[in-house]
Structure 1
Amino acid sequence: MTILVKAVRLLGVSLLALNMQMSCAAEAPPQGNLLIAGGAIRADNTVVWQKLVELAGGQGARIAVMPSAAGNPERSGKNLAATLNKYGASAFVVPVAVRFKDRNYQRDAEDETLARAIREAGGVYFVGGDQGYITKALVRPDGSRTAVLQAIWDVYNKGGVIGGTSAGAAIMSSTMYYEAKTVLGTLAAGVNDGRELAPGLGFVGTDVFVDQHLLARGRFARMLPAMLKKNYKLGLGIDENTAMVINSKREVEIIGYQGALLLDLTQATTNGDVKEFNLTNARISYLDHGDRYNLATGQYTPSADKIDGKLDASKPYLNEQVYSADILGHNTVLVMMEKLITNARTEAIGVATAMPGEPQDDLGFEFKLTRDARSAGYESATADAYSILNLRMDVRPVHITRPWYR
């Protein structure tokens, strides 16, 4: 790619971001709800689908299905609409997608008939796939909204629900991952606007970063450099087969199979003398299904089964070292958090390293979790489940000496 092409691409991304920020600033706060799912939502996840239908107006609610991100938008749109209809909706597919065969997505995105149908619906739902195709289909080259995207915003502004899974969750914040490296590669090499990061659609506002497939893929770690790069203080990462509902009062409710991680960088700092990624005094919390958290006030409300389950730090269940050689593994960070919050010991260490032969395979990172006076835990009375608040998290680079076989 030539220097000129790169410059044009970066300029286009910058204009897109500026235009979208100006559009958001000019509007009154939306009156609707967001339903943000972390990917891999099963058709039998009744609580998530019923909640979407309820927020869209209840039985018979019209819901516009947006298959823009899908590899096969015709099939994905049809299947998603059928799932919603099984739960009582009256769903219809909006055929605006770069990958739709024999259609012109730019023309379709400006179609006033499609825009009117969306505007008359009670909800809109984005299927998963490639989030870059959503913004390509719905945002004009100058960064302004197409007729279809404006109609989606109209639904949200008037009190409807905007939902999405995976790629459909990534576009919810004003910044999204686009051409992302591996989680460890992102920590090692950093992020750049216009390549790893690009403007999202901004439904959740400009103050919260959203990511998905969180616990299943260890993506909490890649949220950190993105948040630092774009100056986000709060980040919400939702796990698979799980969703978070955010209402107009900025109250978050977790529903579905598992939960979400809340990252708070309000008091976090970095050491500029260390060239590799590092972070001191970040805060990490786990919100379990049924929990509520107010983004505006910071107030946490435990689920009904945890109301009387606040843990007594003076009566720990465990007294053992908590360590993992693969903190980016499936659910590993959550397991470490659960063991730490019920432990007589106050620190847990997790390490992330590259596979031999990967770029910068001699660079790893140590994640230290600390339970302190601000930390708290809640235990379910009906299941082996916990909610965990305000563990301190520090990240530092470590250099790896590979064994003799190299």
Structure 2
Amino acid sequence: MEEKLKGNLIIIGGAEDKKGEKEILKEVCSKIDKENEKLVIATIATELPKEVGAEYTDIFKKLGVKNIDILDIAQRDDACRESNIALIKNASLVFFTGGDQLRITSLVGGTPLYDALKQSVENGCVFVGTSAGASVVSDTMIITGEDEESPKKWTLKMSPGLGLIKDVIIDQHFAQRGRIGRLLTGVAENPESLGIGIDEDTAIMVNPKAEFQVIGSGAVYVIDGSSISYTNVSEQYPEEVLSMFDIKMHVLKCGDKFALSERHPIKEDKQEENEDSRC
């Protein structure tokens, strides 16, 4: 089976706790040597890079990280500058903020900085993305769709993502914005891909074995369309409500694990799970 990914990823559903216990952001910081290694905050997705960059810099400093840089790409030329490429090459962890995921791919895709990012992740750099930074990590990403609506074929727009993880479609702010319909549509159109919906203040930590563990206060929803026996998805009658049979869904909470390649949860001793200090 084709390898799903190389490297370690932390994919956050957005609105992670920044004022309380900050459990997810603490976990992010624990992945590097806070005294010596570099954390780079990529503000590419947001239209308020200075404000967002300053907010996360303050949080990560308070959590003990000593070496922090900001990567802001305002136009494609910036993704060709050696100084920005060097930031990625020297980073032990890159944190992509929220905003508009299409800004990330349109500004970075196909550039030397994108090549450097892929290589750095393969070499062990930890990639972290929240909200838009979460959606963009997969090879196919949702860029727009109707929230809190029945799934319809014409409402969803998709685009290539960064491709750091294969054969998944990730959606964020999931339960809070009622996005089950649009993720179901995405899976109907791409049944070879697992749909992963991540609630706010919730994240999945993905390892190079293509296994992930859930952390945070919400749930993660995995939609598997590989066994779909019927669907009306097509370009015909685009305003119809989507219909499909025999689709599978898993709901995971903090501490639960999932094997992406085998498409099933990893069952472990629940007593050990309950002792996880992050849950």
| TM-score exceeds 0.5 | yes
Aligned-partner Cα distance in 2 for 1:131–1:381: 36
Structure 2 partner of 1:239: 199
The reply on whether 1:266 has 2:226 as its aligned counterpart is yes
Structure 2 partner of 1:129: 99
Structure 1 partner of 2:159: 198
Aligned-partner Cα distance in 2 for 1:162–1:75: 21
The unaligned stretches of length 5 or more in structure 1 are: 1-24, 98-104, 310-379, 386-406
Q: How many residues align structurally? A: 269
Aligned-partner Cα distance in 2 for 1:250–1:212: 19
The unaligned stretches of length 5 or more in structure 2 are: none
Structure 1 partner of 2:255: 290
Aligned-partner Cα distance in 2 for 1:284–1:32: 26
Letter in 2 for 1:79: E
Aligned-partner Cα distance in 1 for 2:188–2:202: 26
Structure 1 partner of 2:46: 70
Matches within 5 A, 1:57-206: 57-89=33-65, 90-97=67-74, 105-139=75-109, 144=110, 146-184=111-149, 187-191=151-155, 196-205=157-166
SS in 1 for 2:144: coil
2:10 is matched with which residue: 30, 35, 59? 35
Deviation at 1:201, TM superposition (A): 1.0
Aligned-partner Cα distance in 2 for 1:278–1:255: 32
The reply on whether 1:211 has 2:171 as its aligned counterpart is yes
SS in 2 for 1:125: strand
TM-score after normalising by structure 2: 0.86
Aligned-partner Cα distance in 1 for 2:116–2:221: 31
Checking the alignment, whether the CA contact within 8 Å between 1:170 and 1:210 is kept in structure 2 is yes
Checking the alignment, whether the CA contact within 8 Å between 1:237 and 1:262 is kept in structure 2 is yes
The CA deviation string for residues 295-352 of structure 1, in whole angstroms up to 9 with x for no partner, is 1234534576x3499xxxxxxxxxxxxxxxxxxxxxxxxxxxxxxxxxxxxxxxxxxx
Deviation at 1:190, TM superposition (A): 2.8
Structure 2 partner of 1:248: 208
Q: 1:156 to 1:29 in 2, by over 3 A?
A: farther
Matches within 5 A, 1:358-373: none
SS in 2 for 1:284: strand
The reply on whether 1:227 has 2:199 as its aligned counterpart is no
Q: 1:181 to 1:297 in 2, by over 3 A?
A: closer
Deviation at 1:54, TM superposition (A): 2.4
Aligned-partner Cα distance in 1 for 2:257–2:118: 25
The CA deviation string for residues 57-82 of structure 1, in whole angstroms up to 9 with x for no partner, is 44443111111111211111121122
Checking the alignment, whether the CA contact within 8 Å between 1:45 and 1:256 is kept in structure 2 is no
Checking the alignment, whether the CA contact within 8 Å between 1:259 and 1:287 is kept in structure 2 is yes
Checking the alignment, whether the CA contact within 8 Å between 2:16 and 2:22 is kept in structure 1 is no
Letter in 2 for 1:200: G
Checking the alignment, whether the CA contact within 8 Å between 1:268 and 1:279 is kept in structure 2 is yes
SS in 1 for 2:152: helix
SS in 2 for 1:154: helix
TM-score after normalising by structure 1: 0.61
Letter in 2 for 1:234: L
Checking the alignment, whether the CA contact within 8 Å between 2:188 and 2:244 is kept in structure 1 is no
